[in-house]
Structure 1
């Protein structure tokens, strides 16, 4: 499933709608933070303000890769370390991030875009191997 959303639509999402869109039924009782900088509910993975965090295993478990805007070129494909992939992510960059199944960010494979104001996705529908951070 390919999902993209215009930047203007990101601002229209409420915290409740965002939580319903990215949390699995196992996390139905939790919600994403309403604003950047808010602490995530206890069941969600720790990811600091301004960071994109990707975990090797679903449920925010396993090896965690952390990326900050200072170390990422905007709108450039960033592959995870060779052989690495992720099954859960948190986007606290303040910018939309597209997660790709393909290491080259090819749109022939699966991809999803996540808003940047505080999005926790405990289980990706595919193994994430690369990402792009977009302008607002």
Structure 2
């Protein structure tokens, strides 16, 4: 008997607890499990971008560009001035296509003690803001 093997009493040596069978069939005789393909899982679709034309800042009431939409452009806002959303409204998603950086604020007075983020003006799409947007400021490029 070879070193490292022991007898099971049936003249079939074992190695490390596994029995070697004298009559092993060829692997090709058994169906291969890797030949059966399962249908691929579909990845979750990214949120559909909301409608927002070039030159506009668009804000939506709900995440994923859904709900009531508010639209602002450079004709209706002052650069580097805080623009509060109408009283009682806020936004959960936004798109900045103004061509200028826009800061979105949690505070309706653009207070920097609350949360705020600045989004580039070349086409920023935010499907879910980390806070409710209540005001914004458009910056000079």
**Aligned residue in 2 for 1:4:** none
1:87 lines up with 2:89 in the alignment: no
Match of 1:14 in 2: none
In the alignment, the residues of structure 1 paired with residue 122 and residue 112 of structure 2 have an alpha-carbon distance, to the nearest angstrom, of 24
Alignment match, 1:126: 131
> How far off its partner does 1:26 sit?
6.3
Give RMSD over aligned pairs.
1.4
1:71 is paired with a residue of what secondary structure? coil
Query: Quick one: which of 94, 117, 140 aligns to 1:112?
Result: 117
Aligned counterpart for 2:59 among listed residues 54, 59, 67:
54
Relative to 1, partners in 2 of residues 1:83 and 1:49: Cα closer, same or farther, differing over 3 Å? same
Q: Could you say which structure has the larger radius of gyration?
A: 2
Gaps of 5+ in 1: 1-24, 28-41
Report 1 or 2 for greater relative contact order, CA contacts < 8 Å, sequence distance ≥ 6: 1
Counterpart CA distance in 1 for 2:140 and 2:60 is 24
Greater helix proportion: 1
Number of residues paired by the alignment? 98
1:76 aligns with 2:81: yes
Aligned to 2:49: 44
Q: Please list every run of at least 4 consecutive aligned residues from structure 1 whose deviation after the TM superposition is greater than 2 angstroms.
A: none
**Please, which runs of 5 or more residues in structure 2 have no aligned partner?**
1-43
What is the Cα deviation at residue 88 of structure 1? 0.2
TM-score (norm 1): 0.70
Q: Secondary structure at the match of 2:89?
A: coil
Q: Distance in 2 between matches of 1:44 and 1:95?
A: 19
Aligned partners of 1:71 and 1:80: how far apart in 2?
13
